[in-house]
Amino acid sequence: MSALAATPSRWARFLDSDVFASFRRSKLAMAALAVTVLFFALAIAAPWISPQNPYDPAELDLINSNLPPIWSAEGQAPFLIGTDDQGRDVLSAVFYGLRLSLVVGLLGVLVSGGLGLALGLIAGYFGGLVDTVIMRVADVQLTFPAILIALVVDGVAKAAAGGGLDTNATIGLIVVSIGLSFWVQYARTVRSSVMVEKNKDYVQAGRLIGLSSPVIMVRHVLPNVLGPVFVIATINLALAIITEATLSFLGTGLPETMPSLGTLIRTGNRFLFSGEWWIVAFPGLALAGLVLAINLLGDWLRDALNPKLQ
């Protein structure tokens, strides 16, 4: 179609949009995006750039245990930022830990976002009793701290499974816990946007041509309530990563044989007072950097998408 050429593509429209212009203006947003992309790249590339596979016991050697970073007198190549008590390279552990943290965080956001989006759409579109029930559950949910819900889900599941959960099941469990803890914010936001959108005439026009409610919801309402969901998802990604780290730190998360950043911080914590500071400091810095960058990105996105702040 030749006429298509006259209308800019989605990408060209994005480059010309106010959101992109605001991004170009904000140095902080650009820096945050760069750091976030860097962390994602490190996580994805972990198997190729790590000096060692920290999950493979065969590659660990106790002779190399508790080595300080390379710039101190006792530092040894290839352990750039030292090793832990198992002889595990801290840098490799951080790369692999990032990978786990991001996977759990992204899956958690996906589950909580999906759940919240679906419930918010249903509550907002149908209203009435359905709405009342969903939103009262949300209210009750909000009275419990997210971490408590995650601990309860975790505890119940472990008790039910008899304690013998493998790593993948543990990851699944953490993802579900995070999903159940964070869906409320999505549901509330989506519900209020839906209540605005569903009264707009384009929805009425859809009803006039006999479209069913699910079709109207998915085809017309959903695309128009996604903006705020992306903002929440970004900010929640940071929260989910922290929640995973907290669970792991508290010992209900990922095991020491397959450490996430939280697990690394927990194990490293034990060595803080015996002088092996690098075991806890570098995973901690990685976690803080990642969460800060994502949060700054989320803040910027929220401001950029909010026309009132322009």
Instruction: Kindly list the residues in this chain that would bind other proteins in the complex (CB under 8 A).
Output: 1, 3-4, 6-7, 21, 200-202, 204-211, 220, 223-224
> Based on CB atoms, which residue is closest to other proteins, 6 or 77?
6
Least distance in angstroms from the C-beta of 23 to other proteins: 12
> Based on CB atoms, which residue is closest to other proteins, 56 or 201?
201
DSSP sequence for 127-195: -HHHHHHHHHHHHHHHTS-HHHHHHHHHHHHHHHHTT---HHHHHHHHHHHHHHHHHHHHHHHHHHHHH
**3-class state of residue 89 by DSSP:** strand
> Based on CB atoms, which residue is closest to other proteins, 121 or 245?
121
> Based on CB atoms, which residue is closest to other proteins, 10 or 273?
10
How distant is the alpha carbon of residue 59 from its chain centre? 30
Sign of CA dihedral 208, 209, 215, 218: negative
Least distance in angstroms from the C-beta of 140 to other proteins: 16
Tokens representing residue 92 in the block:
């490799």
Least distance in angstroms from the C-beta of 224 to other proteins: 7
DSSP sequence for 91-115: HHHHHHHHHHHHHHHHHHHHHHHHH
Least distance in angstroms from the C-beta of 43 to other proteins: 32
Dist. CA 83–CA 179, nearest whole Å: 34
Least distance in angstroms from the C-beta of 30 to other proteins: 17
> Based on CB atoms, which residue is closest to other proteins, 194 or 264?
194
> Based on CB atoms, which residue is closest to other proteins, 204 or 274?
204
Residue pointed to by tokens 């945050």: 32
| C-alpha dihedral, 216 to 181 to 105 to 195, nearest 10° | 20
How distant is the alpha carbon of residue 58 from its chain centre? 31
- 35 within 8 A of 289, measured Cβ to Cβ: yes
Least distance in angstroms from the C-beta of 196 to other proteins: 10
**Cα-flanking dihedrals φ and ψ of residue 260, to 5°?**
-90, 180
Least distance in angstroms from the C-beta of 138 to other proteins: 17
Least distance in angstroms from the C-beta of 290 to other proteins: 32
Residues contacting 223, CB < 8 A, separation 6+: none
> Based on CB atoms, which residue is closest to other proteins, 169 or 196?
196
> Based on CB atoms, which residue is closest to other proteins, 13 or 270?
13
